[in-house]
Structure 1
Amino acid sequence: MSFSSKSDSEARPLLDDRRSSYGSADSEETTSPETPLNKVSRSDLIWILAGLWSAVFLGALDGTIVATLLTPIGSDFNKANQASYIGTAYLLSVCCFTPLYGRLSDILGRRGAMLLGLFFFGSTGTLLCGLANSMEMLIAARAIAGMGGGGVMTVSSVAVTDLIPLKQRGLYQGMCNILFGLGAGLGGPLGGYLNDAFGWRSAFLLQMPILVFSVLLVTLKVKIKLPFDVQNQSTSAKLKRIDFCGSFTLVGTVGCLLLGFSLKSTEELPWSDPLIWGLFVVSAVFCVSFVLVEHYWSQYPIMPLRLITQRTPLAVSLSNFFGSVGAFSMVQSSPRKSCIYRLTLSYFSAVRLNSSTEAGLHLLPHSVALSTGSVFAGWIMRKTGKLYYLTLASAGSAILASALVCLWNDQSSEFHLWLDIVPQGFGMASLITSTLIAMIAGVVKEDMAVATGITYLFRTTGQVIGVSCSGAILQAVLVAKLRMRIHGPNALEVCINIIEDIRHSVNIIPSLPDDLRTAAISSYRDALEVVFLCQLAMNILTFICCLPIQENPLPCVAF
């Protein structure tokens, strides 16, 4: 029996459940699954999307702006060695707090949760970044901004799902992803210009007008109805629904795990270092505590265990995790740069000895594919109402790209170097869109917001682990190969110096003597091949995890 086939009897309870508690029992509008609870005019929808998506655009813009500013910020505070923690603090905070906003949006409302995210991201975090008088204050401010950054993405996705029919939801997600990509693309050059013209602080402070615009529109236009029993509760009663113990243990689990991987990569500590394995042990303790709290203690769990053990939610979560490990990475604090993007850039620079401009141009088709893949997936789901085979095809595209990249060698034609990574960007953009819709369609409406938060949690966690592990593998293989290839008088001392120079910058390779340059290029090629093979394995696991996803009906009305 095909994983995608579902009998009518299997589909019927899903539709019946969706109408169960998201509206007053006395309301005639909510007695039919074909009538949306939150119906808005086209003009109001445009304003709502403008408010929500302007925050998403700003989050993407902020990420690449900060990546551009790391060097001048480090120089200004005379602490360049700590500059990487600006991005690390933001990313860890995003990963830890993203899943909390799913439940908060059910308790505080979509508007309340979105305003909370905007408060942490902008009014507190970004503003404090612009006013920071020390590196430590700036790192703390970025952590505060991360507490809201992940919430902005999650709540905006939940709110759009409330307003847009699920059959069309993927198309809107694709448009949002294009806007996100536009923000990420503009952030780098804009950050450089603002730093040169007005100083790095202006890059943070000039974001405030967009934040004010988003806050005003969200306050005035986002009026999405909650379940009747929640909407009429007092503030104190709503606060009692917040799972504080579950939130604390979840933050501890994710935070310690990702901090361990991040320190391993950024500080180049060995796996045997007490700090690294100590963080992993603490994470495991928090994880056990989280499971016990959610199962025995929490009345309104932040991540219901019954949800994560269901077939489709579990398959979607794992596919997003492995897909992100294999294909996504962080370039400082930008969460949408693909790992294959970063590593192929290293391939063109270190192995092919292309200039930065030439290397960047080779990746232009991949960037275009990232922008169009999500819209394509949304269009297919809108036309067909199906997502199962689209999901498998998307995961298969990533496997194809990884396999083609693994075959690169000195004889590879320019055609392959330009186009082999295109299926990676197109497939992964399509995959994250179709699996998000599969998650939403696979749960009852009461769990929709929490399920969306879970999807983003697994996705962002995979991104951090992916870049940390790929970096660790690359550096380990590179060191081993360089030590194997460098010989001669004072070989050990020369080897140590060359290794440190090459590990931190590939720009030194063309200026090396012939024998050392040959050793460096060959070693980098070998190291990248190992990483590409690991990515291929992760993409195969992603495909396997997509197989159990069920083909649930996509309603033609909003939730």
Structure 2
Amino acid sequence: MSPSYPDPDETRPLLQHPSSDSLDSYNSLDDATASTPPVPVSLNKISRADLMWVLAGLWSAVFLGALDGTIVATLLSPIGSYFNESNRSSYIGTSYLLSVCCFTPLYGRLSDILGRKGAMLLALSFFGSGTLLCGLAPSMDALIAARAIAGMGGGGVMTVSSVAVTDLIPLRQRGLYQGMTNILFGLGAGLGGPLGGWMNDAFGWRSAFLLQMPLLVFSFVLVALKVSIKLPDEVESQSTHAKLRRIDFFGSFTLVGTVGCLLLGLSLKSTEEMPWSHPVIWGLLVASVVFGGLFVAVETYYSPYPVMPMRLIKQRTPLAVSLSNFFGSVAAFSMLYNVPLYFSAVKLNSSTDAGLHLLPHSVAISTGSVFAGWMMRKTGKLYTLTLCSSVLTVVATALVALWNDDTRAYHLWVDIVPQGFGMASVITTTLIAMIANVGREDLAVATGITYLFRTTGQVIGVSLSGALLQAILTTKLRERISGPDAFQIIEDIRHSTSIIPTLSPHLRKAAVDSYADALRVVFICQAAMNFLCLLCCLAIQESPLPGTHEEQEAQYRKRKNTISRTDSES
């Protein structure tokens, strides 16, 4: 049974001693640990008022990043029409996601080199510059490039914000704050669609980018004035030149090449409908493998300060957390994109009705994240909660895969809820598990690794599910539709679900049945991904979640001494 930690208050005096109950779990430290000096006071205990200002600066940036994503998704059609290049509008989203995935893990190391404030200001600068350039873009090419620049900062906003909150909040409360972060993220994502549509109708699509600038400036100013997180003395005392030498340029380049080539190849396969045998597709995939080999070699043998230390990936819990986030994100984003398609193409509902079926899922995401944070704060444990949450996702995707013509209406609303609740909880608990199982010096880098696997899984989930859906859909339509105009009819059905209700009864049934067959395979694959996520979660180790800064310092010290003793014995 875990010790009963007191409910800590961030405003307690620095010299106040933790209660005897809260120290019980640390009285059993080994001799090496027991002989160390008293635990130092945490570097980053601040007043509640300052904490609120810091969180306002960090969370406003997170809110804006989520808002921006769904605003742009709403504006793809009007932007494509404005430039008369609707066929290339999907690249606006693809360029941003590719950039986010490539640069997200770099911010973990940058936040150790530049400091949390410096890294956050850099991320906001890229994101703000790209957003401003989007509003002023004279052509589609310029807009795509501007979105890539914005993505260079968009991933950093989430990563550095998470690292900064970890520095300020004891680990046992950390999950609750992550839940509140996810609520703001969900709120931004939910408001982005209707807000983007209204701004486009009222002021034009450029206003949706330009009117983000005041909130960006607000976040930038608050971060510049209020975020003052101290790093360990050995880092703070280094000169700027010494800090720059810690940047892993070659490792960063090979990582960008690995992730970028992989995701670009998969995205082109999905959006351009190129065959796997196309030289561009397999060339990009081969390049990704080559870059990946170089990246592992550089990080293992060459770089003194690797952007992704291989020793972390080889550890049990960091590896399990990374893989569980990857598989879980593949399933979550595949479901997010394909469930509305089920209601549009199989149930023949309007786009509005199809979107409404995701509303319970959105509520479940916010609820699941906060519930996970509350449970970790109450119990100080995460392992059982993680497993139960991952089981919920498997159950949800299995239920969705069983949807058919006889499925009751309430199932179509309720079955997806455990997926949102469970995955939000898993994402929260696994992040805390990662932080709890690495040393202070690896905290920022480990957080960046978590977000890398998560964002890569999101893009692959959308791309691969789209490619799988189209492949099966095409096969099924060709089996069911024949005749002189069959090719054109099949192409129309594949590219627009809105045409299905206008077809003759025979063709309409063929289209609906083909979509149902294809989506069922996709849903089964989602269940398989969630099952792999569950298997990975089994390997996660339970670690005590300190309730105060003092207890957290003791845990860091214990881990450091254990590692030092192991190294000396070997």
1:453 equivalent to 2:448? Answer: yes
The equivalent of 2:504 in structure 1 is 513
Aligned equivalents of 1:133, 1:322: Cα separation in 2 = 39
Alignment counterpart, residue 53 of structure 2, candidates 38, 47, 57: 47
Shift of 1:349: 1.4
1:32 to 39, 45, 48: 39
Do 2:64 and 2:188's aligned partners in 1 also have CA atoms closer than 8 Å?
A: yes
Cα separation, 2, equivalents of 1:219 and 1:111: 7
Q: Counterpart in 2 of 1:332?
A: none
Distance 2:355 2:216 in 1: 31
Q: CA deviation at 1:234?
A: 1.4
Q: Which residue of 1 aligns with 2:393?
A: 398
Q: Is the aligned partner of 1:462 residue 2:462?
A: no
- Pick from 532, 537, 546 the counterpart of residue 541 of structure 1: 532
Question: 2:547 maps to which residue?
Answer: 556
Per-residue deviation, residues 296-336 of structure 1 (Å, max 9, x unmatched): 111111000001110000000000011111122xxxxxxxx
Distance in 2 of aligned mates of 1:344 and 1:149? 26
Is 356-365 or 424-433 further displaced after alignment?
356-365
Equivalent position of 1:197 in the other structure: 202
Among 318, 341, 350, the residue aligned to 2:336: 341
Q: Is 1:206 the equivalent of 2:211?
A: yes
Q: Deviations over 1:132-170 (max 9, x none)?
A: 111111110100000000000000000000000100100
**Alignment partner of 1:355 out of 350, 358, 381:** 350
For the residues of structure 1 that align with 2:508 and 2:78, how far apart are their CA atoms? 31
- Measure how far apart 1:365 and its partner are: 1.2
* Bigger mean CA offset, 69-78 vs 51-60: 69-78
Query: Are 1:386 and 2:381 counterparts?
Result: yes
Judged with a 3 Å threshold, the aligned counterparts in structure 2 of structure 1 residues 16 and 358 are, in CA distance, closer, same or farther, namely farther
8 Å CA contact 1:263–1:269 kept in 2: the answer is: yes
Unaligned runs of 5+ in 1: 1-7, 21-27, 329-338
Larger CA deviation: 106-115 vs 188-197: 188-197
Contact in 2 for aligned 1:158/1:452 (Cα 8 Å)? yes
Once the 2 structures are TM-superposed, how far is the Cα of residue 503 of structure 1 from its aligned partner? 1.4
Measured in 2, the distance between the counterparts of 1:294 and 1:58 equals 33
Q: Where does residue 422 of structure 1 map in the other structure?
A: 417
Counterpart-to-counterpart distance in 1, 2:241 and 2:387: 46
> Could you tell me how far 1:344 is from its partner in structure 2?
1.5
By how many angstroms is 1:93 displaced?
Answer: 0.2
Tell me how far apart the structure 2 counterparts of residues 150 and 355 of structure 1 sit (CA, whole Å).
33
- Give the match for residue 294 of structure 1: 299
Given that residues 350 and 509 in structure 1 are in contact (C-alpha distance below 8 angstroms), is that contact kept between their aligned partners in structure 2?
yes
Give the counterpart letter for 1:118 in structure 2.
L
CA–CA distance in structure 2, aligned partners of residues 83 and 240 of structure 1? 40
TM-score by length of 1: 0.92
The equivalent residue for 1:336 is none
Which region of structure 1 is more displaced relative to structure 2, 495-504 or 59-68? 495-504
Question: By how many angstroms is 1:354 displaced?
Answer: 1.7
Aligned to 2:491: 500
SS in 2 for 1:344: helix
Superposition deviation, residue 295 in structure 1: 1.2
Deviation at 1:16, TM superposition (A): 6.5
Q: Which amino acid aligns with 2:538?
A: L
- The alpha-carbon distance between structure 1 residues 37 and 60, as it changes in their structure 2 partners (threshold 3 A), is same
Distance 1:523 1:475 in 2: 10
Are the counterparts in 1 of residues 110 and 119 from structure 2 also a CA contact under 8 Å?
yes
Give identity over the alignment, percent: 74
* 1:308 is aligned to 2:313: yes
Match of 2:469?
A: 474
1:272 aligns with 2:244: no
| Contact 1:485-1:519 at 8 Å conserved across structures | yes
SS of 1:268's equivalent in the other structure is: coil
CA contact (8 A) 2:337 2:462 kept: no
Q: Deviations over 1:349-408 (max 9, x none)?
A: 111112223222322211110111100000000000000011001110000001111111
1:555, distance to aligned residue in structure 2 (A): 1.0
For residues 367 and 466 of structure 2, what CA distance do their matches in structure 1 show?
Answer: 28
Deviation string 1:255-313 (CA, Å, 9 cap, x unpaired) is: 00110111000101111111011001111111111111111111111000001110000
- Secondary structure class of the residue paired with 2:285: helix
What is the rounded CA distance, in whole Å, between the counterparts of 1:439 and 1:254 in structure 2?
Answer: 22
5 Å matches for 1:149-160? 149-160=154-165
1:105-157 deviation digits (Å, cap 9, x = unpaired): 001000000000000001x1111111111111111010000000000000000
Query: Is residue 254 from structure 1 mapped to residue 254 from structure 2 by the alignment?
Result: no
Partners of 1:36 and 1:557 within 8 A in 2: no
3-state SS, counterpart of residue 120 of structure 2? helix
Contact 2:66-2:189 at 8 Å conserved across structures: yes
Q: Give 1:36 shift.
A: 2.2
Secondary structure of the residue aligned to 1:424 is helix
Q: CA–CA distance in 2 between the matches of 1:106 and 1:257?
A: 28
Measured after TM superposition, the shift of residue 12 of structure 1 is 5.4
2:361 aligned with 1:366: yes
Task: Using the TM superposition, give the Cα deviation of residue 457 of structure 1 relative to its aligned residue in structure 2, in angstroms.
Answer: 0.2
- 1:241 corresponds to which residue? 246
Q: Is the 8 A contact 1:474 1:531 kept in 2?
A: yes
Count of residue pairs the alignment pairs up: 524
Distance 2:219 2:434 in 1: 27
* CA separation of 1:183 and 1:365: change in aligned 2, threshold 3 A: same
What is the one-letter code of the residue matched to 1:267? E
Distance (whole Å) between structure 2 residues aligned to residue 483 and residue 225 of structure 1: 63
Distance 1:191 1:287 in 2: 38
Instruction: State the alpha-carbon separation in 2 of the partners of residues 163 and 282 from structure 1.
Output: 41
Moved more, 526-535 or 191-200: 191-200
SS in 2 for 1:475: helix
Amino acid at match of 1:204: F
CA distance in 1, matches of 2:282, 2:187: 39
Which of 406, 409, 413 matches 2:408?
A: 413
Query: 1:249·1:287 contact (CA, 8 Å) conserved in 2?
Result: yes
User: Which letter maps to 1:556?
Assistant: G
Q: Distance in 1 between matches of 2:65 and 2:408?
A: 38
SS across alignment from 1:436: helix
Q: Which runs of no fewer than 5 residues in structure 2 stay unpaired?
A: 1-24, 553-570
Distance between the aligned counterparts of 2:50 and 2:524, measured in 1? 49
Letter aligned with residue 39 of structure 2:
S
Distance 1:270 1:386, change over 3 A: same
Answer yes or no: is the 8 Å Cα contact 1:482–1:495 preserved in 2.
no
Per-residue deviation, residues 205-247 of structure 1 (Å, max 9, x unmatched): 1111101101111011100001111112111111001000100
Cα distance, 1:16–1:377 mapped onto 2, change above 3 Å: farther
Q: Does 1:522 align with 2:513?
A: yes
| 1: CA distance, partners of 2:460 / 2:165 | 29
Counterpart residue number, 1:139: 144
Letter in 2 for 1:207: Q
